[in-house]
A and B are shown apart, each in its own frame.
Chain A
Amino acid sequence: MSLSAKDKANVKSIWTKIQTKSDDIGEQAFSRMLVVYPQTKTYFSHWADLKPGSAQVIKHGDTIMNKIDECVNHMEDLVPFLSSLSELHATKLRVDPANFKFLAHCLLVAVAAYLPNDFTPDIHLSVDKFLQLVALALAEKYR
């Protein structure tokens, strides 16, 4: 499932609205994932506080969201763009790629909560495809 021209246009269009709340949405997506899918907390057992609103959770939500924001400008070359990050996730972090879809889902929920009128079914479809491709690119170096 690759991105059509319409998909790319949809992603760029909703992202101009997302950018205005990027930090909030990133923080929401990541903290929701830790609450709704508690098994994902296993990767952060070295953190002091995993509750929504904690400094580390906020910071990491921002980090992830900033990278996804950049991916919007690299929809044509996600695999090379995410190459070193994929290497990191594959060899050092060893996050089971099955978890990427949980974060993606929570990001969709956060966007729906913040931008209910803009997150139409067509836009939802394109963003869902985009996030799946980001996840795939991130898993590229795993094996």
Chain B
Amino acid sequence: MVQWTDFERATIQNIFGKIDYEDVGPAAFGRCLVVYPWTQRYFGNFGNLYNAAAIQANPMVAAHGKTVLRGLDKAVKNMDDIKATYAELSVLHSEKLHVDPDNFRLLADCLTIVVASRMGSDFTADVQAAFQKFLAVVVSSLGRQYH
């Protein structure tokens, strides 16, 4: 089981309490599609992903970004058993969606960068470390049921 320090718990609750899911979700997911364009392979039915402007204006991208953040919220509320929390989602991403789990790490990196841009100097090195540890657990849990 993952051990969280008081600082880490407080930091995660604080960040997710502060950020606007409707803003950060679409920003992070859209950024991932731009910076790592091969991730677009899973979204053939999303319409126009031709360039960054199109991606940022795409309503399906925005909707999916919000879905992802709401999914992350489950882990924020269940930090002591993220693995169990994501067991079903892991099966879904593996068996039905066939997503290469390395993509979860790429999205996590983009989310870190978006949160850094929203928080500025409040996103200290210690806060970054806690955030990345949380995301690493999420990423690992999402990849757990692949076989």
Contact = CB atoms under 8 A, between A and B. Distances in A.
Q: Are chains A and B native binding partners rather than an unrelated pairing?
A: yes
A106 B132 CA distance: 11
A113 B109 contact: no
Give the secondary structure class of A's interface: helix
B118 interface: yes
A32 B128 contact: yes
Interface in A89-143: 105-106, 108-110, 112-114, 116, 119-122, 124-125, 128
Contacts of B56: 121
Contact of B116 (A31, A34, A113, A122): A113
Given A108-B113, A121-B56, A122-B52, A35 B35 contact: no
B117 A112 contact: yes
Given A121-B52, A125-B34, A31 B125 contact: yes
B34 to A, nearest CB: 4
Contacts of A55: none
Nearest to B51: A122
B129 A116 contact: no
B35 A36 contact: no
A35 B126 contact: yes
A81 to B, nearest CB: 25
A109 B31 contact: no
A109 B129 contact: no
B76 interface: no
Interface residues of A, number: 23
A39 to B, nearest CB: 12
Interface in A12-41: 28, 31-32, 34-36
Contacts of B129: 35-36
Interface of A: 28, 31-32, 34-36, 52, 105-106, 108-110, 112-114, 116, 119-122, 124-125, 128
28 contacts: A32-B125, A35-B126, A35-B129, A36-B125, A36-B129, A52-B125, A105-B109, A105-B112, A106-B128, A109-B128, A110-B116, A112-B114, A112-B117, A113-B116, A113-B120, A113-B121, A114-B120, A119-B113, A119-B117, A121-B30, A121-B34, A122-B52, A124-B31, A124-B34, A124-B35, A125-B34, A125-B35, A128-B35
**A-B complex: 5 closest residue pairs judged by Cβ atoms:** A116-B117, A121-B34, A35-B125, A112-B117, A112-B116
Interface of B: 30-31, 34-35, 52, 55-56, 109, 112-114, 116-121, 123, 125-126, 128-129, 132
